[in-house]
Structure 1
């Protein structure tokens, strides 16, 4: 199972978009407080559309609470400070839980947390002039790499036209 972990997210629209991505991926969304918004805000539900009611979302008072309640999982830390890219890593198989953690929009994951995750820290390559990508875009990029590596197991892989034939 895929788990998306947001450490102190600040923008409700990003979290709503990420919630929608989690529903599409069958992922659990973990939110580590403090949050920069309330979970019942309209912006979250608007961004998540009618998918929010189908989301498995869990909250934690801090990072230590998250670790304890999830039995100290192996976590891949998405950060611009990593030396390896998200595509350089082999994530767990389809039967393994994969945790992807992303930091808050204004500052990322605190460096004191990253120090313990050097081997599982990953970055999305980008031009040097760019500080970072939008949080919800970053989540989608890395999450779908995990799913790609797992062969998109249990996912609809083909679409069809409604009024025409291919």
Structure 2
């Protein structure tokens, strides 16, 4: 695995995006954490269609809620790196480390304040003025790619 780099999805809303991220992670050797409840059944057809046959290859861990995820993350000593439109640090100016967990919020609402405050770092993908947000799977690919490049 890419030095145990992980992607975490906070209560994802869209099965197709989650499937795409699972496929990305399987191909790049990254782990994925899904923090429930998800906005869809994890056996959803759209999830399987987007992930194709890579879902079985993905190192997926499901967490019943935020508290369970945090308990596991803290026990493992992982740094939590949140991607947020409310952040100030651009992701390409951040120094990623082995073992980082890249956290992405819900497509519809991001993450609540208590999750935002729990992050060790908050990063921004800069966008053109007037643009609201990127697709979460695109964001995950961009940031995971930069983290992998840095970690080597």
Provide Cα deviations, 1:22-66, integer angstroms capped at 9, x if missing partner: 011111110001101111111111001111111111111111110
Q: Which has the larger radius of gyration?
A: 1
Distance 2:90 2:38 in 1: 27
Provide Cα deviations, 1:63-114, integer angstroms capped at 9, x if missing partner: 111011231521000000001111111011xxx2110000000111212221
- Whether 2:7 is the aligned partner of 1:4: answer yes
Provide Cα deviations, 1:146-165, integer angstroms capped at 9, x if missing partner: 001122xxxxxxxxxxxxxx
Q: Where does residue 28 of structure 2 map in the other structure?
A: 25
Q: What is the Cα-based RMSD across aligned positions, in Å?
A: 1.1
Q: Which of 104, 109, 133 is matched with 2:111 structurally? A: 109
Distance 2:151 2:27 in 1: 15
- Whether 2:148 is the aligned partner of 1:147: answer yes
Q: Which of 70, 84, 87 is matched with 1:82 structurally? A: 87
Q: Which of 79, 96, 99 is matched with 1:97 structurally? A: 99
Shift of 1:116: 3.4
User: How many residue pairs were aligned?
Assistant: 147
TM-score by length of 1: 0.85
Distance 1:34 1:52 in 2: 19
- Which has more helix, going by share of residues? 2
Contiguous gaps of at least 5 residues in structure 2: none
Q: Is the 8 A contact 1:67 1:73 kept in 2?
A: no
Q: Secondary structure at the match of 2:89?
A: coil
Q: Where does residue 132 of structure 2 map in the other structure?
A: 131
Runs of 4+ aligned structure 1 residues displaced above 2 Å come to none
